[in-house]
Amino acid sequence: MWLLIALPLAGAAILLLLGKRSDKWGHLLGTATVAAAFALGLVYFFQLSDLPDDSRSAYLNLFTFIDTGSFNVNASLLFDPLSAVFVLLITGVGLLIHIYSIGYMAHDEGRRRFFAYLNLFVASMLLLVLGNNYVMMFVGWEGVGVASYLLISFWFIRPSAATAGKKAFLMNRVGDAGFLIAIFLMFVAFGSTDFQVVFNGTLAGNLASGTVLAIGLFLLVGACGKSGQFPLQTWLPDAMEGPTPVSALIHAATMVTAGVYLIARSHAIFSANETAQLVVVSIGALTLLIGAIIGCAKDDIKRVLAYSTVSQIGYMFLAVGLGGAAYALGIIHLLAHGFFKAGMFLGAGSVMHGMNDQVNIRRFGGLMKYMPITYGTFLAGYVAIIGIIPFSGYWTKDPIILAAFNQEGWKGWVFGSAALLGAGLTAFYMSRMFFLTFHGPKRWTEDIKKPHESPLIMTIPLIVLAFGSLAAGWLMSTSVVDWLTPVFGQTTAHEEKMSHLTVTVLTMALVVLGVVVAFLLFRRGTALEEQPTRSIVVQAARQNLYADRFNELVFELPGRLLTRALVWVDNRGVDGVVNGLAAAVGGGSARLRRAQTGYVRSYALSILSGAVVVVAALLVVTFG
């Protein structure tokens, strides 16, 4: 089992240590290590599937990681149905992204370094999903954070890329602080961070509900940071500054899925506290709408896809927050999303490859004719994500909407309506991007003579992902639920407030409406530049719903003012006292030094003056 992590980690180490000596073959080694990990993951998966349902867990204790008094943590790995599906997703989609990167980064001088960082990213993510306790998961969690910083700021000579890397790193540290506090609380409450000990202790019901709630909420803070959920979502679109394969890897198969995995893995904690579940569902519903609304106003093809990711991860948070059978629904949507989002990100990279790195969809148009393979594969991802029957999104997103509607009381109507509205908005902004990119009149810049299709090394992964986009949801809709039953247990379905047929009809109606409106508005293209608007909603969406300004006012500005105040206190207070004492001692010494004149008459006068003072004092004491 340890080989799954060791293979890509060894690839990263070799490429970084050998430096330029591995420039010619480094990309092949990087790809081969992930291919080997994928093959190994398949072998382990089939071995696990041969076991009875209640025996599908394999443990491996590597060594004692921490041994200080009563605090003991083992470096242990767990391969169970949940970690197995993540291993296949990470290595499978990761392998296709590695192959695509061979062509995409062919002319980049830092290609060997790029593949080293990709390998490090995959190894860290595998450690995250294979760790048998929260400390091991946190080690992988931090490895993913470091690798993402290196990849997002890969072209660090660009100020925007360097800033985006720092922003991602710092905002993730906010989430990491929450995750760490949750780990500390677990240790205080259970004396261990091992999954089984924590879950058994929670299910036993001996813990105060406030403690369970605190652990759940701090875990949620960590999940929001990694998965770009409200209020920590602003780093995710800025991560587009990295090379496009990085965007595909982060948004489809690895980093953003970590938060969903954390909540799903911690299902025993969240299922034990309804308030914690309600907060997770609320965060998911709010974020899916935020991402969809902003996605409607963006012109950068990668940023539209980025906000699409924010929105789709919101669906996954909504699902795992609902609990019960919806845990598996969230994981299925995560898997299907891995296919169609990776395909569309790599498709966007293919468009940029043929359009001199142009990213503005207002400057595209008519590319269907010049990039038929990219068009066909992008179309597969497009129909999958908007949930057209019978493609992937229908099989994975509609059950989440249905589960949301079937919640008890007001929660069903509020969260179900939010999920339904998100489906309509998704259809609109994805259709807008699709029509403006591939259909309508040409709106290219003058430097582009004739766009060209990408080479086979880039289009083959697109074709594989397109097939996955079309069929993965249908293939996984029942089999993955059954596969995950040993992890989440048998669940009882809620009383149906709304039938599946009703939800399907409503969802399809909104999806078709979104597509038709986008077609009518953008079939003939759009203005070449962003136009002024009086609409408050559009203005807010163009400004990312003022999330960056909110962070600047609420977090950055108070921090900056506090720093200036501390500098003032340090300069005028601490330094003032120290410097004042030094000046007083120095001044006193100078005055005393003047008494040492070397003249006898001066010393005699001083002695006489002293004697007069002493005699006067004696007289006052005697006769006073």
Question: What 3 state SS string does 283-310 have?
Answer: HHHHHHHHHHHHHCCCCEHHHHHHHHHH
Q: How much is the average pLDDT of 306-335?
A: 90
Q: What is the mean pLDDT of residues 274-293?
A: 94
Q: What are the distances in angstroms from CA 105 to CA 31, 34, 360? A: 13, 17, 21
DSSP-assigned beta bridge partners for residue 61: 76
User: Would you tell me how many other CB atoms lie within 10 Å of the CB of residue 504?
Assistant: 16
DSSP letter at 80?
Answer: -
User: Rounded CA gap, 326 and 267, in Å?
Assistant: 11
Interhelix angle 81-104/257-265, nearest 10 degrees? 170
204 pLDDT higher than 90 = no
Section 309-332 average pLDDT: 89
pLDDT at 115: 95
pLDDT confidence tier of residue 460, bands split at 50, 70 and 90: very high
pLDDT value of position 99: 95
What residues have CB less than 8 Å from 235, skipping those under 6 apart? 164, 167, 168, 171, 172, 228
pLDDT(495) > 80: no
Is 533 in a helix, a strand, or coil? coil
For residue 476, pLDDT beyond 80: no
pLDDT band at 264 (very low <50, low <70, confident <90, very high): very high
- Enumerate the H helices of 50-133 as residue ranges: 81-104, 111-130
Task: Using pLDDT thresholds of 50, 70 and 90, give the confidence band for residue 279.
Answer: very high
pLDDT at 602: 81
* Residue 494: pLDDT over 70: no
CA 24 to chain centre: 32
Residue recorded with tokens 């990279």: 349
Compare 602 and 360 and report the one with higher pLDDT: 360
Q: What is the DSSP letter of 193?
A: -
| Residue 491 confidence (pLDDT) | 65
pLDDT value at position 492?
62
pLDDT at residue 472, as a whole number: 82
Each residue's pLDDT tens digit, 210-232: 999 999 999 999 999 888 888 88
Asked if residues 355 and 452 have their Cβ atoms less than 8 Å apart, the reply is no
Terminal Cα distance for the chain, rounded: 98
d(CA 435, CA 517): 11
Question: Please, what is the angle between helix 195-203 and helix 159-190, to 10°?
Answer: 60
pLDDT number for residue 72: 81
Tens of pLDDT, residue by residue over 67-90, are: 877 778 889 999 999 999 999 999
Could you report the per-residue pLDDT of 107-152, keeping only the tens digit for each?
888 899 999 999 999 999 999 999 999 999 999 999 999 999 999 9
pLDDT computed for residue 421 by the predictor: 95
Q: Which long-range contacts (CB under 8 A, 24 or more apart) does 18-26 make?
A: 20/112, 22/112, 23/111, 23/112, 26/111, 26/112, 26/115, 26/116
Nearest CA among 91, 332, 314, 57 for reference residue 199: 57
Mean pLDDT of the 470-495 span: 78
Q: What residues contact residue 35 under an 8 Å CB cut-off, 6+ apart? A: 95, 98
Packing angle of the helix pair 392-405, 456-488 (nearest 10 deg):
30
Q: What is the pLDDT of residue 493?
A: 60
Average pLDDT, the chain: 90
Output DSSP code: residue 180: H
Give residue 69's pLDDT. Answer: 76
Within 8 A by CB and 6+ apart from 102, the residues are: 27, 28, 31, 457
Q: State the CB neighbour count (10 A cutoff) for residue 13.
A: 15
Count H helices, E strands: the chain?
A: 25, 2
CB 379 within 8 A of CB 246: no
339's enclosing H/E stretch is: helix 326-354
Cα–Cα dist 1/407, whole Å = 40
**Residue 114 exposed, middle or buried by CB count within 10 Å (0-12, 13-18, 19+):** buried
Which of the pair, 129 or 325, is modelled with greater confidence? 129
Q: How confident is the model at residue 233, as a pLDDT?
A: 85
**φ, ψ for residue 25 (rounded to 5)?**
-125, 5
- For 515, other C-beta atoms within 10 Å of its C-beta total 22
CA distance 405 to 497: 7
Pairwise CA distance, residues 188 & 199, whole Å: 14
**CA-to-CA distance for 518 and 361, rounded, in angstroms?**
14
- Per-residue exposure over 151-162, b if at least 16 CB sit within 10 Å of its own CB, e if not: bbbbbeeeeebe
pLDDT of res. 150? 93
Q: What is the pLDDT of residue 575?
A: 85
Tell me which of 43-57, 364-378, 582-596 is least confident: 582-596
Residue whose tokens read 């690839």: 11
Q: In Å, how far are 79, 114, 433, 438 from 313, measured between CA atoms?
A: 24, 26, 20, 26
Q: What's the confidence (pLDDT) of residue 534?
A: 82
Give, in order, the Cα–Cα distances in Å from 97 to each of 103, 197, 489, 507, 538: 10, 37, 34, 32, 34
Q: Which residue is it, tokens 């990263």?
A: 12
CA angle 279, 281, 282 (to 5 degrees): 65
